[in-house]
Amino acid sequence: MTQHLSLGPIMMDLRGPAIDADEREMLRHPLVGGVILFTRNFVSVAQVAALCAEIHALREPHLLIAIDHEGGRVQRFRDGFTQVPAAGTVHRLYDSDPQRALALAEDFGFVMASEVRAVGIDISFAPVLDLDRGISQVIGNRGFHRDPEATADLAHAYMRGMRRAGMEATGKHFPGHGGVAEDSHLTLPIDPRRYADIEAEDLLVFERMIHYGLAAVMMAHVEYPAVDPQPAGFSPFWVKEVLRGRLGFQGVIFSDDLSMAGAEGVGGYADRVRNALEVGADMALICNHTEGVVETLDELQWESDPASHMRLARMHRHRPTDWAALEKNHDWRVSVARLAALGLDDPTGQLPV
């Protein structure tokens, strides 16, 4: 029987390709509003489509289903899916032939979003708006370019492709993860730059994308001590003063995964979620840690925010689709053929110029 609940502020994951009994109970908890899928949840196109349909049937309005499926090395589903090149594949091409690079970036976003939507997923956490300065271990060529204006142009094209497929975009990682070498999955990166330096480069990309209608932002687990002592996702300054205030962002704010080492200094899982929500996040992610989800559902006291619920509801898929309909879609077939014609043996490499 379908439950009628508002979307809660927690996004959780699943252990495998089917929903376990305890997970089903958690997914029906009023504090849960979304599910994020990983490679371990995928067996085949048909299986994951059935899984998404089952998740959506649990609640009304249905739970948001998300995935990190950017292309390149961050693509959760592969068998049956098009291998989308990494965003940075077009870096050098943009410098010599920007129009072709922008067209390809739009193809990347369109193919990616079309395929994950066709199995029932609402959102992919993409594109990456971090600058590829050649510093970050975890960002690298997940970023489009090292130049802010070029990054904004290419990310805008990628977002246009996503929107053509009926999916809203999520820009990450605010206010910018490209200036630190460390991986926030493993430690809390420290970026020593002043606000003026971050504003002139990293924030320019987010400002442009917000102007273009970016629907959602994911926060960075990075600390900028010259600006604020709290990591960005737990900082009222970065979330309320800068993102909501100075940049005028009115869309959804997601935390990054709160099981990452970059979030450990805030306390236990319920504390991490509470802190993220208190500074202005609409939804907090807990991945790869069932005990953390259970702890949070047991301990967190949180009143539903109608404005936050409305923002989250806008992230639902705009038009119903399925894989059979996708295979008949002329635009998708043409874009897939263009990606195949690139002849990339390594989809994380650079296109020739």
pLDDT tens for 98-121 read 999 999 999 999 999 999 999 999
State the greatest distance between any 2 C-alpha atoms of the chain, in Å, as a whole number. 57
Q: Where are the domains of the chain?
A: 3-57+79-341
What burial letters (b/e) apply to 156-165, b meaning 16+ CB within 10 Å?
Answer: bbbbbbbbbb
Residue range 131-158: mean pLDDT, rounded: 94
Which residues have CB under 8 Å from 78's CB, separation 6+? none
Provide the β-strand partners of residue 64. Answer: 34
Q: Quick one: pLDDT at residue 181?
A: 87
Supply the pLDDT for residue 59.
92
Separation of CA 91 from chain center: 21
Q: What is the DSSP letter of 20?
A: -
Considering 97, 183, 185, 289, which one is annotated as catalytic? Answer: 185
The three-class DSSP label of residue 88 is helix
349 near 98, Cβ under 8 Å?
A: no
pLDDT for position 1: 56
Q: Selecting from 1.10.287.110, 3.60.90.10, 3.90.550.10, 3.20.20.300, what CATH number does the domain 3-57+79-341 have?
A: 3.20.20.300
256 is catalytic: yes
What is the Cα–Cα distance from 315 to 311, expressed in whole angstroms? 7
Distance CA 332, CA 327 (A): 8
Contact in structure between 22 and 36 (CB atoms under 8 Å): no
The β-bridge partners of 171 are 217
Provide the percentage of residues in the chain whose pLDDT is more than 70: 97
| CA-to-CA separations, 181 to 58, 75, 136, 177, in angstroms, rounded | 41, 22, 4, 9
pLDDT band at 308 (very low <50, low <70, confident <90, very high): very high
Model confidence at 136, pLDDT cuts 50, 70, 90, reads confident
Mean pLDDT of 17-26: 97
The CA distance from 226 to 194, in Å, is: 6
pLDDT recorded at residue 4? 64
- Residue 47: both structure tokens together: 């299986």
41-54 b/e (C-beta count within 10 Å ≥ 16 → b): bbeebeebbbbbee
Tokens describing residue 56: 């959506």
For the stretch 219-270, pLDDT in tens is: 999 999 999 999 999 999 999 999 999 999 999 999 999 998 878 888 899 9
Residues 146-178: tens digit of each pLDDT? 999 999 999 999 999 999 999 999 999 999 999
Residue 183 has a pLDDT of 81
Query: Could you please report the per-residue DSSP string of 40-72?
Result: GG-S-HHHHHHHHHHHHHTEESPPEEEE-EEET
Q: Which pLDDT belongs to residue 344?
A: 83
User: Out of 68, 107, 130, 256, which one is annotated catalytic?
Assistant: 256
**What is the β-pairing status of strands 123-124 and 64-67?**
parallel
H helix runs in 244-305, sequence order:
269-278, 290-299
Contacts of 291 (CB under 8 A, 6+ apart): 269
Reduced DSSP (H G I as helix, E B as strand, rest coil) percent helix, strand, coil of the chain, to 5: 45, 15, 40
Average pLDDT, the chain: 94
Binned at pLDDT 50, 70 and 90, residue 138 comes out as confident
pLDDT band at 5 (very low <50, low <70, confident <90, very high): confident
Residue 42 CA to residue 30 CA, distance in Å, equals 26
Sort 281 into a burial class: Cβ within 10 Å, 0-12 / 13-18 / 19+.
Answer: buried
Q: Is the peptide bond before 127 cis (omega within 30 degrees of 0)?
A: yes
